[in-house]
Every structure is written in structure tokens, then in C-alpha cells.
Amino acid sequence: MSFADLKRKSQNSFEFLQKELEKTVSTGGGADERFWKPELDASGNGYAVIRFLPAPKGESVPWAKLYSHAFQGPGGWYIENSLTTTGGKDPVGEVNRKLWNSGSDADKEEARKQKRKLAYYSNIYVVKDPKNPENNGKVFLYKYGKKIFDKIQAAMQPEFQDETPVNVFDLWEGANFKLKIKTVAGYWNYDSSEFDSPTALAANDDLLEEIYNKEYSLEAFTAPDQFKSYEELEQRLNLVLGIAQTPANARAATVANRMNEEEDEDFVAPLRREPSLPVMSSVGSDDDDALSYFARLAEED
């Protein structure tokens, strides 16, 4: 879509995104310089002002939604994108469904530790970054979680009739996002974050077009090459969980062995160790999505 088309179709685009929101509700190596991440001050708080940008050229949705898994078993770490992102079946989901439906609280706890992590990706324009002012006025990719996405949804689809919907991704009639972070029980909390009043991102279209042209692809995050096949994922999962036979038989044996071993109060089951993952914004920290996920697993059995 050209910049001129983007401006002309602004309202139609908003209606399309409303529908996409309804559908949404019902990598290793060094740091990627395309990404922006807020930083905390000495008191453990963080503040920045960013602007969510429209879908990049040739794409229709200004966010990418990705499910992944990251947990540790006796055979190492399992860190993979989930095939459920694109509506497919995933071997971890199959294992977790059996654990969740077993009737054992211990199995449910293990399923929780192997649950999907939810992440969203969007292009943003950094309006104000007090910790790193050199980022001001630049376009980045931003990875965020369900808490922030809920705030986007609330702005675009407000709960009350006296509130005006705002397409926060619009360059002309969108709104800056005041990102306010507090550290609560060791986790980043975004409850105080809010959208400002609607306003154009820049005073003239030439600057807006320059910003628009700097956006990165979002569809790349859910492209086929970002996912391994079911068979490859199953093979890796079996290795991590220490399963040498067929998944069904080996899983039953693992659960039985664990129940026997737990009779020894000095035994600590390796599958129940908390992964020492770093705190990553709000991604994967919201339990609402996980609970609904497991409820669906129980219904599918």
C-alpha cells in the first residue's frame, strides 16, 4: 500500500483492524538492533513514550501474534515456536493435554510449566526514551505481551458507550502510548500505562511517509520458515523429556516413575525445576491466556 493509499483508506483500515481484534480475542545470537526495549531506572521503574505504527507495506495487520514454548527437562531446554500459532497441532500441546486431563494436580502443575508463551510484535516510533535518548525519533520493532495488547484493544474497542474508539496504529488520528513500568514481585507491571489523547504523529505528511517507509515486516515472524515440522518438534520434545519410546507409552511411564520417586521426600523431580528464564517485559507472564488455553485442552479431550 502506498503512503497516499494509507491516508485515503485510514477509516476502512480501522474497521478492518476491529475485525482482526475480534479474531485475535475469540531467535538466538546477539541483540537484534531492530528491536527496542525499555529500561528501568535505579528505583526499578521505567518510563517511555512510543507510538504504535500501521501495518508495513504489503501487509494488512500491524501486529504479529506468536506462541512459543521455553522450558527445561532432564534432556535440556526446549525453546521452539509453537505450531498452534498458525492453527496447527503441536506436540507440546498434545503432551500438556494428557497431563491436564490426567486428574493429577502434579501433572497439571507440570503442564503449566510447559505452557505456551504469548508474544506480539509491532513497529513503533520512539517519541521519548529517557534512558536512551539516542532512540528518540527512530523506528523499531517492539515485542510485548498480552497486558499491553489488552490496552490496545481497550482503546480500539472501548467498554463503555461514552468512550470514543481510537485506532492507535493510525499516523494521523492515533495516540502516543505512555509506557509506565513498575517492578512488582520481581516482574514488570504495566497497569499504569495508558494512551494519550489522539493526535497526528508528525506535523506534515512528508515526515510521516519517511517514518512509514522505515517499518519492518511483521509477517516474517509467522512465516513458514519460522516453524519446524511436527515430527522435528516431537523428536526434540522427546529428547528434552527423556522419552525414548512412543510418546504415549513413554509419557505414562514417566508419570508413573515420578509418582514412585515422590514417595522419597528427598527426591526433587527434574521436570519440575523452575526454568531460570530472564524477566522479559510482560511476555508470557499473564496467566489468563494460559488458563483459557488449558481449559480448551480439557474440552478437546
The per-residue pLDDT for range 55-83, each reduced to its tens digit, is 999 999 999 999 999 999 999 999 999 99
Q: How far apart are CA 230 and CA 190, in angstroms?
A: 35
What pTM, to 2 d.p., does this model score?
0.74
Domains and CATH numbers, the chain: 3-65+118-225 (3.90.198.10), 91-115+228-300 (no CATH)
Least confident of 147-156, 217-226, 268-277: 268-277
Segment 153-173 mean pLDDT: 96
Altogether, the residues listed in the chain come to a count of 301
CA neighbor of 126 nearest in space, from 188, 211, 216, 55: 211
Using the structure block, give the residue that is written with the C-alpha cell 503449566.
112
Which is higher by pLDDT, 268 or 98? 98
pLDDT of 267 higher than 70: no
pLDDT for the residue 11: 67
Max distance between CA atoms of the chain, in angstroms, equals 71
Taking residues 3-8, what's their average pLDDT? 78
pLDDT reading at 220 higher than 50: yes
Helix H, strand E, coil C: the string for 54-95 is CCCCCCCCCCEEEEEEEEEECCEEEEEECHHHHCCCCHHHHH
Query: Contact at 8 Å (CB) between 48 and 126?
Result: yes
pLDDT computed for residue 14 by the predictor: 75
Mean pLDDT computed over 144-171 = 96
Beta bridge partners of 79: 70
Nearest to 283 by CA among 115, 106, 125: 115
Considering 7-21, 138-152, 285-299, the range whose residues carry the highest mean pLDDT is: 138-152
pLDDT digits (tens, 9 = 90+) for 95-143: 999 999 999 999 999 999 999 999 999 999 999 999 999 999 999 999 9
Amino acid, res. 18: Q
Beta-ladder partners of 183 = 188
Query: With 90 as the cut, is the pLDDT of residue 246 above it?
Result: no
For the ranges 10-19, 25-34, 172-181, the one whose mean pLDDT is highest:
172-181
pLDDT at 13: 73
Mean of all residue pLDDT scores within the chain: 83
What is the C-alpha separation between 176 and 251, in angstroms, rounded? Answer: 49
Which has the higher per-residue pLDDT, 9 or 71?
71
Task: Yes or no: say if 120 and 65 are a contact pair by the CB < 8 Å rule.
Answer: yes
Residue the block writes with cell 514417566? 254
